[in-house]
Amino acid sequence: MRLTLKLFASLARYLPSGAERNQALIEVPEGTTPLQVLEQYQVPTAEVHLVLVNGVFLHPSQRNEGLKAGDELAIWPAVAGG
């Protein structure tokens, strides 16, 4: 199935080649979870702070739920500032 993967800030370096504007259209097996996508693209889960699917926040306990074709998975690291 195809879905859009968006990685922001320091995580953008884990996007596949050809990604534009912090996003890439990816192909994954049916029922793949957000955690499996992170693993597939070698994104360190310790650096992941916010995970959204179709604009809806996923609590860490929900990151093992299967994605659907056409979903948009967006991930941000913790950002410090002042």
Nearest-CA neighbor of 2 among 16, 63, 13, 42?
16
Structure pTM? Answer: 0.92
Please give the average per-residue pLDDT across 9-27, as a whole number: 95
What lies within 8 Å, CB to CB, of 28 at 6+ separation is 1, 3, 36, 37, 40, 67
Residue ranges of the domains in the chain? 2-69
Rg (CA), the chain: 12
Q: Give the pLDDT confidence of 49-65 residue by residue, as tens digits.
A: 999 999 999 999 999 99
Amino acid at 57: F
Query: Any bridge partners for residue 5, and if so which?
Result: 24, 73
pLDDT at 36 over 90: yes
CA atoms within a 13 Å half-sphere pointing along the CA-CB vector of 68: 2
